Amino acid sequence: MPELPEIQAHAERLTDDYGGLELTGFRALSFTALKTFAPKPDDAFGDELTAVGRRGKYLLLELPSAWFVVHLMQGGRLKPDEKQAAKPRGGLARWIFEGNRALLLTEQGTEKKAGVWMVDADPDLAPGTAVEPFVGLGPDADTVTVDGLAELLQSGSGRLHGFLRDQHKLAGLGRRLANEICFQAKLSPFANTKKLTGDEVTTLHDAIGVCIAESLAYERSRDDMSSSKERPGNVHHRTGEACKVCGDDVRAVEYNAYTVNYCATCQTDGKVLADNTTSKFLK
């Protein structure tokens, strides 16, 4: 699933390409695409696209009358639509702008979880907002302070990797960045959040910034959004490869839906985490 860096860079590209264009039409190509009924999409017809922004993993098509909020989920993409086919493969929704330019939201596969929400113009998107779909969304990971991070870590006892992926704690991070941040911070992915020391919290905060910045720089160097396998990393999806820092094997803890990757030498004092979901992991 695209994470904060991929979404941010894509929002910037879309702003450059479509910003200032008048919205002339919108069509939901699938009955699952539009998640809300008010305000109406046509309330924004005739408005110029101010910008494409981002909150967490959501794209925000910002117009003076109403905003379109788009979540790509795992397989969704929002791309220029030159052909404007009547039944595009995987098509969920289409925006038409002046000059007959268009954007198409697609999602491959059968789940069809990607979607569009309508919200009033310039909504309050602060943490704790009651505006759907942002209810309960935590602060963006690239904006949280060290003190704010410490408070969030202390708000509940859990494993660090899960904390980083929890959108109610920090918005914008996912499986890849969770793996990479833990490695950058030299912390076990299963360290207990409430037991991190002050120095470890500071190191973790720095690691979040470094990993987001590196990924964002890579995405900004591209003309389109990268695929998962193209994104750079030290441990994510590198099971069995040599660690770039120490040369030890990158190891994995496998789950049904995802894999936790780590380096035992760099992160767990050489101890290997048991590869099953019921084991007691290192702290």
Q: Report whether 21 contacts 51 (CB < 8 A).
A: no
- Looking at the structure, give the CATH architecture of the domain made up of residues 4-120: Alpha-Beta Barrel (3.20)
- The model's pLDDT over 187-242, given as tens digits with 9 standing for 90+, comes to 999 999 999 999 999 999 999 999 999 999 999 999 999 988 899 899 999 999 99
- For 146-267, the fitting CATH number among 3.40.30.10, 3.40.50.2300, 1.20.58.1000, 1.10.8.50 is 1.10.8.50
Tell me the per-residue pLDDT of 24-45, one tens digit each, with 9 for 90 and over: 999 999 988 999 989 999 999 9
Which pLDDT score is estimated for 276? Answer: 60
**Higher-confidence position of 276 and 129:** 129
Q: Would you list the DSSP string of the chain?
A: ---HHHHHHHHHHHHHHHTTPBEEEEEESSTTTB---SS-GGGGTT-B--EEEEETTEEEEE-SSEEEEEE-TTTEEEEE-SS--SS-TTEEEEEEEGGGEEEEEEE-SS----EEEEEESS---STT--STT-TT---BTTT--HHHHHHHHHTS--BHHHHHH-TTTSBS--HHHHHHHHHHHT--TT-BGGG--HHHHHHHHHHHHHHHHHHHHHHHTSSSPPPGGGS--SSTT-TTSBPTTT-PBEEEEE-SS-EEEEEHHHHSTTPPPPSSTTSPPP-
pLDDT higher than 50, residue 281: no
Say whether pLDDT at 172 is over 80: yes
Decide if pLDDT at 280 tops 50: no
Query: What are the residue boundaries of the structural domains of the chain, listed by start?
Result: 4-120, 146-267
pLDDT digits (tens, 9 = 90+) for 98-145: 999 999 999 987 677 899 999 999 998 988 888 899 999 999 999 999
pLDDT (mean) for 248-267: 94
Distance, in Å, from the CA atom of 254 to the CA atom of 182, rounded to the nearest integer, reads: 16
pLDDT score, position 181: 98
